[in-house]
Structure 1
């Protein structure tokens, strides 16, 4: 198994899409999604599918995401009272707050089942880094069969 860790840095709106692609179908416990208001930082630990690997037997790996310059975090339809509940990430997008000169906006985590997390930021400031050794995935995520009878 390849053990070259992934490390992505996001500093503007265009950098969010590659991070979203790397995190597609990642799984996290609610307890591993944390907002540190005093530090103005949001952190999350995900188990992600390694989409960047060539075709073949897939792998999963633990990855940490850190977002800086955070002003607030709002959860929608997430089971905050169930810290051991899991969420599956569909996408991460950036919604700009103002015009081209305004770097602030909202990073939106969209989860399977209709849940969302909105992280308001002064600017895009994120780092995604693998933090474990990879292991064989039991299956490759398959969106074609989701929702099929």
Structure 2
């Protein structure tokens, strides 16, 4: 008899998960909530249809078991046709962005737009052929510099 995985099951292992539908995307979105990254860590390789961000995500899956941690992760989106953004000053080399959520808007199934909502009224809009998102931890966790979990007032 098999049992569904629980959120807590991944608490100590590096994440390597994907999303191919809206339900999957909700899980990935919750795991990247409050991730921070320098604007220069975004890459779009148009000829390959790939968009990626190296981000420092808060380890929400770890709960309140110990000192809050972050881990560097790669958020990768495949089958990307175009990328646009608002509220991001590309000339500011040291700009740090904070990812709040990700949503998928179907336009002509399975095509649509993946919206990455950023703190401070910023957003990144990816036109995709189909939803294909992956999130992979690439470093060991480290103590969050603030030593606190992010909070939203």
TM-score, structure 1 as length reference: 0.89
Judging by fraction of residues, say which structure has more helix.
2
Q: CA deviation at 1:70?
A: 0.3
Q: CA deviation at 1:83?
A: 2.8
Q: 2:88 and 2:31 mapped to 1: Cα distance?
A: 22
Say which SS state the counterpart of residue 142 (structure 1) adopts: coil
Q: CA deviation at 1:142?
A: 1.2
Larger CA deviation: 7-16 vs 128-137? 7-16
Q: CA deviation at 1:3?
A: 4.9
CA contact (8 A) 1:47 1:63 kept: yes
Q: 1:77 and 1:143 mapped to 2: Cα distance?
A: 20
Unaligned 5+ segments in structure 1 are 145-149
Q: 2:93 and 2:127 mapped to 1: Cα distance?
A: 22
TM-score, structure 2 as length reference: 0.87
1:30-41 matches, cutoff 5 A: 30-41=39-50
Residue deviations 1:41-92 (CA, integer Å, cap 9, x gap): 0010110100001313211000001110000000111011123211011111
Q: CA RMSD in A?
A: 1.2
Q: State yes or no: 1:48 paired with 2:53.
A: no
Name the residue aligned to 1:119.
126
Q: CA deviation at 1:128?
A: 0.3
Q: State yes or no: 1:133 paired with 2:126.
A: no
Q: 2:38 and 2:63 mapped to 1: Cα distance?
A: 28
Q: CA deviation at 1:13?
A: 2.2
Q: 2:75 and 2:100 mapped to 1: Cα distance?
A: 15
Say which SS state the counterpart of residue 48 (structure 2) adopts: coil
Q: 1:19 and 1:119 mapped to 2: Cα distance?
A: 16
Q: 1:83 and 1:120 mapped to 2: Cα distance?
A: 25
Moved over 6 A (4+): none
Q: State yes or no: 1:14 paired with 2:3.
A: no
Alignment size in residue pairs: 140
Unaligned 5+ segments in structure 2 are 1-10
